[in-house]
Amino acid sequence: MGTNSKNDWQERSKAWAATSVQGISADDTFNQMIIAETRIRAGEKILDVASGTGNPAVSIAHSMKNDGEVVCADLTPLMLQTARQRAEKLELGIMQFAAADMAALPFAAGQFDAITCRFGIMFPEDKVAVAREATRVLKPGGRIAYIVWGAYEENPPFHVSRRAVAEYLGTEEGPVPARHSLSAPGTLQNILREAGLSKVEECELRYRNKVDDVDDYVTRNLKRSFAKETENMTSAEFSLLKEAVIEAWQPFIEDGILQVPNYARLGLGWKTT
């Protein structure tokens, strides 16, 4: 990964660390989906790459009940520090932490039973090379699972707030973000095949996140995803922007509960030799 990308993630990590949960994620659905689809079991050695503040690594370790080993790897030390704090709060003694670029992992070949990556492979320039590097450190018979975001228009968590903020500030919404670059069905599957994995599968993951506290949900989102736009706002200015975003979410509120549709795609491959 290039220097500019590293610097960008270092900057982003400040907002992510500041808004991260302290234990298990409030919405743990995608983490549980990747655990189930990857068939992770207690006693295994797992690597989670581009783990950020610990998703899904923390949930994986929690599911293994301190039996096995989970290595949480990310490019940015601040992200890893937050993940470590979450692990300590949950007394997850099987977790280890490594500052690592997913394109050049600091591990010997054939070390891990399974490798996971939640919303990370969309960003490197050479995605096949990144998947090959993960395959290198996987044991024969092991498996790799990647989750990527589905289509932008089918993911209100991104376009609802993005459009509301742009309208409120009088700016352009801008192009579809890179996070959706692997959203076309079959794209992720092809990457895993080119990386040398076999028995490759791809499926869609959909669910609705039920949000009781809309104010907190929108506040966290604004502070994380729109840190630059909001960092110099007064409390009054921030409140007005928040009200505009909450108003944009009204079509998704049913019986007083915000129902947030989420759509991702999961690719799973196995290493035969």
CATH code for the domain of 48: 3.40.50.150
pLDDT tens-digit map of 52-94: 999 999 999 999 999 999 999 999 888 899 999 999 999 999 9
Residue pair 57/122 in contact by the 8 Å Cβ criterion: no
Could you tell me the pLDDT band of residue 20, with boundaries at 50, 70 and 90?
Answer: low
φ, ψ of residue 232 to 5 degrees: the values are -105, 10
Q: Which residues pair with 202 in a beta bridge?
A: 267
69-74 and 45-48 beta bridge pairing: parallel
Is 193 part of any domain?
yes
For 20, 85, 194, 238, the CA distances from 126, given in Å and listed in that order, are 29, 32, 12, 38
Range(s) of the domain holding residue 88: 3-151+176-206+262-270
Domain count of the fold of the chain? 1
Is 248 part of any domain?
no
Is 159 part of any domain?
no
Is 42 part of any domain?
yes
Could you tell me the pLDDT band of residue 3, with boundaries at 50, 70 and 90?
Answer: very low
User: What average pLDDT is seen over the chain?
Assistant: 92
CA distance 241 to 2: 34
Taking the model in full, what pTM does it have?
0.89
Query: Is the model's pLDDT at 16 over the cut of 60?
Result: no
| CA nearest to 241, candidates 172, 164, 170, 171 | 164
> What integer pLDDT is reported at residue 203 of this predicted model?
97
Is 34 part of any domain?
yes
CA distance 92 to 84: 9
Is 51 part of any domain?
yes
In terms of phi and psi (left: phi > 0; alpha: psi -120 to 50; beta: otherwise), the region of 50 is left
Query: Is the model's pLDDT at 5 over the cut of 60?
Result: no
Is 71 part of any domain?
yes
Is 44 part of any domain?
yes
Residue pair 58/88 in contact by the 8 Å Cβ criterion: no
pLDDT tens-digit map of 142-198: 999 999 999 999 999 999 999 999 999 999 999 999 999 999 999 999 999 999 999
> What integer pLDDT is reported at residue 21 of this predicted model?
62
Could you tell me the pLDDT band of residue 2, with boundaries at 50, 70 and 90?
Answer: very low
Could you tell me the pLDDT band of residue 4, with boundaries at 50, 70 and 90?
Answer: very low
